[in-house]
Structure 1
Amino acid sequence: MLTIKYTKQFKKSLKKMTRQGKDLNKLFEIVSLLKSKHAIPKKNRDHALQGRYRGTIGVRELHIEPDWLLVYQIIDDELVLILVDTGSHSDLF
């Protein structure tokens, strides 16, 4: 099982998602799967990131909803799940 760490940006974005009325249970279900190292359903389209995150080992992105994303990083040797950011495509990229 992984230990969860939250970036300052993730905490800020999470507040924004709350104000927008997003169903945070969807986010928490995905985080629970990640934390316990279970497979992510294909519908969430989990994939490695390109662009500004290229070269940062283990940074990935998945879809919670069609335009609600979670950016995260897993550092296996430290057993850490870092929640980097969440938001829409336009918020993040």
Structure 2
Amino acid sequence: MLTKEVETDPAESAADLLDIHTERLHVRGGSTVCGQSLRTINLRARVGVSVIGIERQGTTQVNPTADATLEAGDVVLVLGDDDQIERTRVLLA
């Protein structure tokens, strides 16, 4: 019997299985999330995404704490599936 060892990246394999990816979403002026902390917005419980970064005025906060706030013009880097990301896009608009 012939076999071939295949090298895979466990993170890539998990992402493929779960059909998840990252997306950069903009916080619009007038959004109900403006001025609120990630703890208050609670995106993971509401829609299932994980916030893995916030870009503001040329700087990026990686792995923000629950006390980080969102402001108009922020770009939020989220991890989730297509449906979760779309629901997050609506919340940030």
Give the TM-score normalised by the residue count of structure 1. Answer: 0.28
Bigger Cα Rg:
2
Structure with a larger share of its residues in strand:
1
Structure with a larger share of its residues in helix:
1
Higher normalized contact order (CA 8 Å, seq sep 6+, divided by chain length): 2
Give the TM-score normalised by the residue count of structure 2. Answer: 0.28
